[in-house]
Protein backbone atom coordinates (compact mmCIF):
# COMPACT_ATOMS: atom_id res chain seq x y z
CA UNK A 1 0.00 0.00 0.00
CA UNK A 2 1.41 3.44 -0.93
CA UNK A 3 1.63 6.47 1.32
CA UNK A 4 -0.95 8.31 -0.85
CA UNK A 5 -3.50 5.51 -0.36
CA UNK A 6 -2.94 5.39 3.41
CA UNK A 7 -3.10 9.18 3.59
CA UNK A 8 -6.46 9.14 1.77
CA UNK A 9 -7.88 6.56 4.22
CA UNK A 10 -6.43 8.36 7.24
CA UNK A 11 -7.97 11.63 6.02
CA UNK A 12 -11.41 9.95 5.89
CA UNK A 13 -10.90 8.56 9.40
CA UNK A 14 -9.90 11.99 10.71
CA UNK A 15 -12.97 13.55 9.04
CA UNK A 16 -15.25 11.04 10.79
CA UNK A 17 -13.67 11.24 14.27
CA UNK A 18 -13.19 15.02 14.30
CA UNK A 19 -16.51 15.58 12.46
CA UNK A 20 -14.87 17.88 9.91
CA UNK A 21 -16.06 17.28 6.34
CA UNK A 22 -13.71 19.82 4.78
CA UNK A 23 -10.55 18.45 6.36
CA UNK A 24 -7.49 18.03 4.16
CA UNK A 25 -4.33 16.32 5.39
CA UNK A 26 -0.77 16.21 4.03
CA UNK A 27 2.16 14.16 5.36
CA UNK A 28 3.45 17.35 7.03
CA UNK A 29 0.19 18.14 8.87
CA UNK A 30 0.56 18.26 12.65
CA UNK A 31 -1.94 18.52 15.52
CA UNK A 32 -1.36 22.29 15.66
CA UNK A 33 -2.73 22.61 12.09
CA UNK A 34 -6.03 20.81 12.74
CA UNK A 35 -8.66 22.31 15.02
CA UNK A 36 -9.96 19.71 17.44
CA UNK A 37 -6.94 17.40 17.17
CA UNK A 38 -5.71 17.59 20.75
CA UNK A 39 -4.55 15.26 23.52
CA UNK A 40 -8.19 14.27 24.14
CA UNK A 41 -9.01 13.24 20.55
CA UNK A 42 -5.53 11.91 19.73
CA UNK A 43 -6.13 8.44 21.20
CA UNK A 44 -9.54 8.25 19.51
CA UNK A 45 -7.85 8.89 16.15
CA UNK A 46 -5.20 6.27 16.88
CA UNK A 47 -7.88 3.75 17.88
CA UNK A 48 -9.90 4.46 14.71
CA UNK A 49 -6.80 3.98 12.49
CA UNK A 50 -5.94 0.72 14.32
CA UNK A 51 -9.49 -0.59 13.87
CA UNK A 52 -9.56 0.33 10.17
CA UNK A 53 -6.26 -1.37 9.34
CA UNK A 54 -6.54 -4.12 11.99
CA UNK A 55 -3.10 -3.24 13.38
CA UNK A 56 -1.87 -2.40 16.89
CA UNK A 57 0.51 0.43 17.68
CA UNK A 58 2.82 0.56 20.68
CA UNK A 59 2.89 3.61 22.94
CA UNK A 60 6.57 4.17 22.08
CA UNK A 61 5.62 4.34 18.39
CA UNK A 62 2.71 6.72 18.91
CA UNK A 63 4.80 9.11 21.03
CA UNK A 64 7.27 9.49 18.16
CA UNK A 65 4.63 10.55 15.62
CA UNK A 66 5.52 14.12 14.75
CA UNK A 67 3.03 14.48 11.90
CA UNK A 68 0.49 12.61 9.76
CA UNK A 69 3.33 11.31 7.56
CA UNK A 70 4.87 9.46 10.54
CA UNK A 71 1.49 7.87 11.30
CA UNK A 72 1.07 6.73 7.66
CA UNK A 73 4.65 5.38 7.56
CA UNK A 74 4.02 3.34 10.70
CA UNK A 75 0.79 1.92 9.22
CA UNK A 76 2.65 0.88 6.03
CA UNK A 77 5.42 -0.71 8.12
CA UNK A 78 2.86 -2.69 10.16
CA UNK A 79 0.96 -3.84 7.06
CA UNK A 80 4.10 -5.01 5.29
CA UNK A 81 5.45 -6.85 8.36
Partner 1 sequence: MLFTSFSFFIFLAIVYVIYWSLVKFRKAQNILLLLGSYFFYCAAAMPQNKIAKLLFNFRFDEAWYSFLKGFDESKWHMLQLLLLLWLSSSFAYFMGKTIGRQKKETTRKWLMALSATVHLGVLCYFKYFNFFVQSFVDAANTLGWQIIFSPEHILLPLAISFFTFHVLGYTFDVYQETYEPADDYIDFITHVAFFPQLVAGPIERAGHLLPQFTNKRTFNWERMESGISQMLWGFFKKTVVADSIGKFVTYVYANDATSSGSNVILATLAFTIQVYCDFSGYSDIALGCARLLGFELLKNFNFPYFSTSLTEFWRRWHISLSTWITDYLYMPISFNKRSWGKWGIVYAAIISFTLSGLWHGAQWTAALWGLMHGIVLGYEVLTKEVRKKWSQSVPTVLYSVCSAVLVWLFWGLSQLVFRSGSITKLNALWARICSESLFTMPYFSSVKDGLMWGGLLFIVEWIQRKKEYGLDLQNTNYMIRWTAYAAIIVIIFSSDNLNNQNEFLYFQF
Where along the sequence are the contacts to partner 1 (CB under 8 A)?
Answer: 19, 39-40, 42-44, 46-47, 50, 59-60, 62-64
Shortest reach from residue 39's CB to partner 1, in Å: 5
The residues, ordered by sequence, that sit 6+ positions from 29 with a Cβ below 8 Å of its Cβ are 67, 68
* Residue number with CB closer to partner 1 (19 or 54): 19
CB of 58 to partner 1, least distance (A): 9
Amino acid sequence: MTQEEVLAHVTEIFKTVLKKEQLSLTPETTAVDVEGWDSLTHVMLIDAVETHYKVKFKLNEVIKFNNVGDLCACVIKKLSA
